[in-house]
Structure 1
């Protein structure tokens, strides 16, 4: 940390959580260790004394801490005094005083565990006497770190000093299984009872030291340089304490419908602690006519290699989207083909493609291109996602149990076939969700002899006090070879409603890379703000999904496992060998949350209200 310039709070190795509280954090002061028990004072003072004398000359250490989650008492007052006797310059931190304000003098910093952003702001805006640090916050367990921007936004208050995400690395151990394979195991897997099971899996980095998708969000929100892009300028806020931005390269790019078409390198010299608005002459006129939207991007990068990264490594970025003037392409005129409206099925054939819609099986039952089949099972309505660790901790599963099978067991109660013209047919299916309300959902397919299909799914909204919906859209089973994914949306890593400080662009990945191996299998691989996605095999054949004209972007994922496979598995190696691919095309999915993993729900603005209409409108094509 001295070498790389990482600031530290150096904390005494002391934690007695459990000695001073009962389950539910019911305070039992009389049993607290060390508390005010004189016979503990010598050992505890010796411990903090040894730490300070060992680490006194490390420049990376900015603050001393008396320990973690050990309540408070006279012993901590003695420890505090010893630290300041040795080192009168560095401040002392201790969170335990929040449980007994008679000991506020034991810390120089106001510091709390897992306080929500609104509670922290209430402290900061009332002329506080001490600076504030979140000594633990944003519990990064499994698929987490949602609504993190609510915390980093508090940096606008001078006395907000940031916080520490719990945790950095998943704690898990490789263990050999009865079949001879080796896999990661966590609490409870070694005969230990009672256990907190996967509660050790709360890192920004997996146990094998590979970054989790959450790191994408943290990197952008923790960047010291903030970039705000406009059509004629870029505003750079340099929150570095000592370093000017003149030491970095800024790469400007224009993306036309997600593809880079222009790039330029600049040097912007903004002093430390300053904000400057700088004019940029974006070449919009050159590209506006050829795109429906342009992305203007400014990327801060290392101008030269350091001992921790290569030259060109990106530190932060800013983007804005401006409308292009490209007109929507005129619909491709249907070619000569065959439309057959039969007693049991409706078929559309043309351009080497065939669409088969069943009156009795409730939807699309075959979609082929040159005899390649893309429908193994009829695309099904989904109202569910595999629970995240935060979902389980907040009770989302219990509260939303009706949505678990609402789409899975929905039944088709009616269909309507309309031949629009000699080349086009529309099949509309009414589904009754498997809920007490039996809400009606409409799924319609409009197919023509070009082989293109419009898929429209409509949820009308259900009046009443219903739980919010985890996800809404279609889950589609594809042959296993269609595992490659290319998409235009927020990426490259997975994103969610409350975790999408990501780049808008065109990204290439596959279902296996997109499956984040959280210790407990759970929802993963979602991509937000998607304009189009291509799901292909190794030869580039496959399915293209695009938002319909005038429709909103959609969310989607491609996984080697279904939502229910993920929900049932306790470890990654319990997931079956992939035999299919599972495509989810969603109008919406709720956020993942992140305040903590045992109580706090996803924030209300990132839920899907059940009393509001939801619409998914996408075009399908085979490529």
Structure 2
């Protein structure tokens, strides 16, 4: 290849000079040298800005910048090396495959290194240079000799380099291009981030060392025996001391074992020994099969309670260290998640080691997506072009060969949103032939010609139920296959709603084998001025805004309310019963584990305060088994509301959570809530300041409350608007069902309030109003009725819709403001926010928080922070009791200010606290990508009446 040649950048083949793929293993007794660390970088705006002289030993790079590898150069240097680009599916360059623009940011990387003093003599064996991930195209030299080039950003590539090494002064040069032909295969709804973002390692290869090996470890659930065979490119022996196995490679041994499952991840330590190397093995015995139309492991069907996981760190992008990966796995386990789909590429291989160790089912997905071709009806799509098939097969092989020894991997996925075509069929045929021990997935194969499961994204609940009942039609093969939702519950902003309704369907119909919420983490980039940045914040020519922030974790890995809701919905223990008769039914919802690892406790709570506690004796129920238990006699405790709280806790420390970690819980009501009673005893009186009624004064002209017990109050008055959530705003491809724009079109964000009458009488004050949007004939006839017993003030709000209301309301309640407030106490749902279809995790109790802590910090500000089923709340010297229970929200800015903010840093606290007391809230749904809120969670404009009792507390 001559100087300044860049033709390889648009070559549709996968590379040149690269060794065949093989199994990845983290350690052996052979020497290795990490080349991670500080590298020299020269960034150019085009691919051919410089010749190849930089790769020669002795080239002066002292004036070059420094970057960290693993890393992305656009996330280093405070913007000096360019900026990230976010698109969901649009290619950020002209679609003209395989060509890419001349404006092709290119990073020349140089690393000079010495071999360790204990490195074997260069005459003793060879050496490999391994790159675990480079985006998107890399050309490599060592000591001035070109090794080759490759594409396939999230896949490993190795070069033989033994004859080129020197004891000291080795010069490794890597030219990385942001765009290449491979970029057409990597359009994966994520930031485009060039760089060497995974490990670079030099591996000594002694004579007779391991080349490639395949661990076959099956389990027969009928006999309780595992069968082990290890095929190896170099003959050797396999020893597993705990199982007394000592066999040659290629031989089989069948012995009694404990099987591997995500719930019971038993691994056996072994060794593969060849004449030149000893490789440690971690062996999990399990068998994956498609039987009786179901995905089964070890003879039992699975129910996936999963998430899609992009790799992400708010400072380092996709350059994750081991502890960040471990944090992800521990968070998943602690939130009852049992499965992960590696969307939309194989993860760092160490992540799969963690899945093996801690126990997660894995759908391992190939580094393939061509979503942007949907803009041209899939014309010129590479997956249906034979010229690209070698690259597709190379990507499939590099995934399978690298990850084939992980028991956690139970399904291979061909990729994501790449249309259909001959290349996908070739990939499926190759994978089936290479590894018959796992299943093959691809959502785009709607007829399931090449796949072993029927997969869908974001179908509405009704359609999922039809599929569960096998009323969905399709090909005969598809009708015989199980359904998994490879994506559902779009976790963008506030939400997702409707997860509990999906879960009920999954558990009702065997054919529905669960799904994977989209997605694990918000891809916000930490920004000194914006907090977390999203699409468009870096001046991108094309971008998809905050669609990149659609995770169950905030960018800093703080769990969102959506994750807490999902944890509750997918609990592996079901606790049900009737609190009034003191009975409880415990059901084991695990697929494999019994309940011997759990202990159960009860508490008897009166108006949110614990009156008594104890333990509950629960047998070690097997999966699917239930037991009816009697609760103890409740203590004699007085209060307006009593309930049992039952918890399932870890009985002992586990690798993923400590003893007493709560796995599941439920509350069983015993006595109902008694709303506050107020007997009117004070008549209104006219004063120089307005109208006096008990502890309150009102404006005589408008009937507006001005003060209460000396406390200045703004409002309350009817409010129907909320700062639209991402799910309210909806996806742009759903123009007829996007509530946010429809609400604005009707004018619900600018309601007008007309006072029709202010009527004092002998027992109180009545204020009659009409609340309506300008430019529309619909309205809400609203009556405020105020009465007092001399110390307290009661407001009853009556609402009657007028006109033809076809849209649901965002909310229905009153809004008021107080001059100051910090701490909030309430009795009702908590500790976090809840909405009609996201309230499973809301637990009634007494809670305390600051006003600031009531806010949920969504990366793009929107409606948040409502507490459900609130009976009373206290803040700023005011107590509010509700009849019926209400939704409570308090914040230091108005709804209008919240709506106008693009980032959290746009929100500036004012001198008042704004409070919403809502009779109703619209559900959340998942319409930022999936279906909207179910009909039962719509807030229709109907006649309504609700009351609040206000009192001051000094």
Same fold (TM over 0.5): yes
**SS of match in other structure, 1:171:** coil
Question: Offset of 1:195 from its aligned partner?
Answer: 1.4
Paired residue for 1:341?
A: 686
CA–CA separation in structure 2 for the residues paired with 1:407 and 1:82: 60
1:33 aligns with 2:382: yes
> Partners of 2:674 and 2:591 in 1: how far apart?
47
Residues 20/468 of structure 1: CA separation in 2 closer, same or farther (3 Å cut): closer
Q: Tell me what 2:465 maps to.
A: 121
- For 2:534 and 2:501, locate their aligned partners in 1 and report how far apart those are by CA, in whole Å: 31
RMSD of the TM alignment (CA)?
2.2
Instruction: Tell me the equivalent position of 1:12.
Output: 366
> How many angstroms does 1:465 deviate by?
4.0
1:172 corresponds in structure 2 to 524
Q: Which moved more, 1:561-570 or 1:576-585?
A: 576-585
User: Do the aligned partners of 1:446 and 1:454 also contact (CA within 8 Å) in 2?
Assistant: yes
Q: Which residue of 1 aligns with 2:650?
A: 302
Give me the whole-angstrom Cα distance separating, in 2, the residues matched to 1:94 and 1:406.
43
Question: CA offset at residue 553 of structure 1?
Answer: 1.2
In structure 2, what is the Cα distance between the partners aligned to 1:83 and 1:475? Answer: 60
Report if the CA contact (8 A) 1:348-1:447 is conserved: yes
Query: In structure 2, the residue corresponding to 1:433 is in which secondary structure?
Result: strand
Give secondary structure in 1 for the equivalent of 2:854: coil
Seen in structure 2, the aligned counterparts of structure 1 residues 206 and 455 have a Cα distance that, compared at 3 Å, is: same
Q: 1:313 aligns with which of 646, 656, 661?
A: 661
Q: 1:186 to 1:358 in 2, by over 3 A?
A: same
Task: Trace 1:536-555 onto structure 2 (pairs within 5 A).
Answer: 536=876, 542-547=877-882, 551-555=883-887
Larger deviation, residues 430-439 vs 168-177: 430-439
| 1:493 and 2:844 are equivalent in the alignment | no
Aligned counterpart in structure 2 of residue 569 of structure 1, from 863, 881, 901: 901
Q: SS in structure 1 opposite 2:546?
A: helix
Report which of the two structures shows the higher radius of gyration computed on alpha carbons.
2
In the TM superposition, residue 597 of structure 1 has moved relative to its aligned partner by: 0.6
- The aligned runs of 1:144-155 (5 Å cut-off) are 144-154=495-505, 155=507
CA distance in 2 between partners of 1:280 and 1:168 (Å): 39
Work out the CA distance in 1 between the residues paired with 2:814 and 2:786.
Answer: 13
- Alpha-carbon deviation of 1:339? 6.3
The farther-off stretch of 227-236 and 182-191 is: 227-236
Of residues 719, 728, 746 in structure 2, which corresponds to 1:382? 719
Is 2:398 aligned against 1:50? yes
1:406 Cα deviation after fit: 7.2
Q: Residues 511 and 318 from structure 1, CA distance in 2 versus in 1: closer, same or farther, beyond 3 angstroms?
A: same
How far the C-alpha of 1:438 sits from its partner, in A, is 4.2
The alpha carbon displacement at 1:568 in A equals 0.7
Structure 1 contact 11–66 (Cα < 8 Å) conserved: yes
Structure 2 unaligned residues grouped into runs of 5+? 1-354, 472-478, 731-736
Distance 1:327 1:9 in 2: 50
8 Å Cα contact 2:778/2:805 also seen in 1:
no
Q: Distance in 2 between matches of 1:111 and 1:96?
A: 8
- Three-state SS of the structure 2 residue aligned to 1:246 is coil
Structure 2 CA distance for partners of 1:440 and 1:339, relative to 1, 3 Å? closer
Rounded to whole Å, the distance in 2 between the matches of 1:196 and 1:476 is: 36
Rate the CA distance shift 1:239–1:505 in 2: closer, same or farther, 3 A: same
Q: Secondary structure at the match of 1:608?
A: coil
Further displaced range: 1-10 or 125-134: 125-134
Structure 1 ranges of 4+ moved more than 4 A: 326-334, 402-408
Answer yes or no: is the 8 Å Cα contact 1:381–1:407 preserved in 2. Answer: no
Equivalent of 1:483 in 804, 815, 822: 822
1:360–1:465 Cα change, 3 Å: closer
Inter-partner Cα distance in structure 2 for 1:438 and 1:15: 49
Residue 6 to residue 139, structure 1, CA distance change in 2 (3 Å): same
Higher RCO by CA contacts (8 Å cutoff, separation 6 or greater): 1
Any conservation in 2 of the 1:528–1:555 contact (CA below 8 Å)?
A: yes
Unaligned runs of 5+ residues in structure 1 are 23-27, 421-425, 537-541
Q: How many Å separate the matches in 1 of 2:569 and 2:721? A: 29
Contact 2:679-2:788 at 8 Å conserved across structures: no
> Which residue of structure 2 lines up, in the alignment, with residue 25 of structure 1?
none
SS of the residue 2:863 aligns to: coil
From 426, 433, 438, the equivalent of 1:90 is 438
Indicate which of 892, 901, 905 corresponds to 1:560. 892
- SS of the equivalent of 1:269 reads coil
Within 1, Cα distance between the matches of 2:624 and 2:677? 49
Give the alignment partner of residue 528 of structure 1, picking from 856, 868, 882.
868
Question: Which structure 2 residues correspond to residues 373-522 of structure 1 after superposition, within 5 A?
Answer: 373-375=711-713, 377-393=714-730, 394-401=737-744, 404-405=747-748, 408-420=751-763, 426-435=764-773, 436-450=777-791, 452-480=792-820, 482-501=821-840, 502-522=842-862
> What residue in structure 2 maps to residue 539 of structure 1?
none
The aligned runs of 1:326-365 (5 Å cut-off) are 340-342=685-687, 345-348=690-693, 354-365=695-706
Aligned length: 579
Choose from 363, 367, 372 the match for 2:708.
367
Q: CA deviation at 1:111?
A: 0.1
Shift of 1:525: 0.6
> CA 1:222 to 1:410, structure 2 compared with 1: closer, same or farther past 3 Å?
same
Deviation at residue 307 of structure 1 after TM alignment:
2.5
Contact 2:676/2:949 (8 A) holds in 1: no
Q: CA deviation at 1:17?
A: 0.3
Q: Structure 1 pair 20/382, CA: closer, same or farther in 2 (3 Å)?
A: closer
**3-state SS in 2 of match to 1:499:** coil
The normalised TM-score by structure 1 is 0.88
CA distance in 2, matches of 1:282, 1:40: 69
Determine the structure 2 residue equivalent to 1:161: 513
Q: 1:54 to 1:598 in 2, by over 3 A?
A: closer
User: Matches of 1:400 and 1:437 in 2, distance apart?
Assistant: 13
| 2:456 counterpart residue number | 112
In structure 2, relative to structure 1, the CA distance for the partners of 1:291 and 1:33 (3 Å cut) is: same
- From 267, 273, 283, the equivalent of 2:623 is 273
SS, match of residue 476 in structure 1: strand
Task: Compute the displacement of 1:598 (Å).
Answer: 4.3
